[in-house]
Amino acid sequence: MVVVKDIKPFAARSSQNHSSTQNELKQPCTRKWTDIKISVWDGVASVCGLAKPIQLNELVDPHNSPEVMRDRLRMLSGCWPALGRGCEGCQRQEQLGIKSERQRSDESVARPNKGSHIDKHHFDSLSAEPENLKLMFRNKCNMKCVYCSSSRSSSWQIENSLYAPENSLVNFDTDSLNVRDEKYQRHLAFTWRWLKKHSQSLKSLHISGGEPFLQSEVWHLVEYLTENPHPELKVTIVSNLQIESKSFQAGLRRLRKLREVVAGLQLICSIDSWGEPSEYIRFGHEVSQFENNFQQVLSLSEKIDVSISTTLTALNVSHLPVLTDQVYRWLHKRQFDWSFKRCKSPARLDPAVLPVEISEQPMLQTLAECERLFGGRACINEQRELFLEILNEPENPRLLFALTEYLNELDTKRSTNWQEMFPFLAGLITPIKAS
């Protein structure tokens, strides 16, 4: 461990060494010491999901790489990390007096080490043991969500392999399937060794995909954690629930066993809309399959936390009230939280590209209903901030037109028809084309 001996405690420096400059940092970022995100399929890791990723390397601990140590040193010196290190977004927001991602993260009740930004031991050393791990193994997934890509979905990857990338609006993976898999096996072997060395220090483990229920690596990890108890660890798994019923039930049995030897277990079920719009947005999604499996989830012991997660896009915000009706029905069986994320990449799918007269009424209606159903929970404050942020941004006709061009390309490949599915969008594009 590299102990900081020649740097004064942060609080004692604030009034001595730095005037009020744009690069001055008021408080070190706890996430630089506690968090790490590893994408085995991409072969990269980053300390905090916003930081610039580094390549997985047999000779380097990704949580304590030279780049990360330099970032921590600058923070302990009262400065933001150098430009290009991924901290610019939070820095810009805080300079404008806006609550940044790192600040929201520290305040979130869902964060297992809430309040750790006050724990001085995190800042006593440049090296640190990881506490919060976000982990993605491979991209194996049976769906092709419109906002996803080949790095997160094998179904996307296979579709891309059938079409030439020339003039395409889709992000193509330049590696062949065989080359990708060869790299993956090397990165996977490294990740297993890293996990076994550091897993006991973890307080939270967040597993996403791809689709975790389809990945043997996930179940290998579940077995390892079950056989090697981690009594302080909370495990979160994100699933689309598009799993054959018997396989899904078998997975739930394994998770029940895991719950007995960890501090907590949460299953996040992702759903963006309901009915045919949902099956377009998340191509491969079947609402009947989701309904059947979600009923199994709702029957789980209260010892297993359950929530649903919705990604807001330009395609689903007008349909939110329909999904809200489903949520209301499910809540009669069991209480759970409902969280929202905003799709910002690709930008053409950002819900803010829509005119406010399209998005305002359904979003405010959904917000009001959620305040009635979930009033008093922290997720409501986050939802309100997110919805108002989207509604207060100006529409973007250029990106709206780019969205329809993108959907035209997907329709050609998938034999779908966005104009029939989203007629409101077709009506918006007609005057844009005319101009």
Tell me the pLDDT tens digit for each residue of 142-181.
Answer: 999 999 998 899 999 899 888 866 656 666 555 555 657 7
Tell me the pLDDT tens digit for each residue of 24-52.
Answer: 888 888 899 999 999 999 999 999 877 88
* 114 pLDDT higher than 70: no
Q: How far apart are CA 368 and CA 391, in angstroms?
A: 15
Average pLDDT, the chain: 87
The total number of residues shown for the chain amounts to 435
**C-alpha of 190 from chain center:** 23
Amino acid sitting at position 171: N
Instruction: Decide which of 124 and 121 is more confident.
Output: 124
Q: Where are the alpha helices (DSSP H) in 169-281?
A: 177-198, 216-227, 245-259, 276-281
The pTM of the whole model exceeds 0.75: yes
- Tell how strand 144-145 and strand 230-239 pair up: unpaired
- CB–CB of 351/313 below 8 Å? yes
Q: How far apart are CA 14 and CA 400, in angstroms?
A: 46
Q: How far apart are CA 217 and CA 137, in angstroms?
A: 7
Q: How far apart are CA 418 and CA 429, in angstroms?
A: 12
Tell me the pLDDT tens digit for each residue of 238-251.
Answer: 999 999 999 999 99
* 21 pLDDT higher than 50: yes
Output the six-digit token pair for 89. Answer: 């977004």
Backbone Cα Rg of the chain: 22
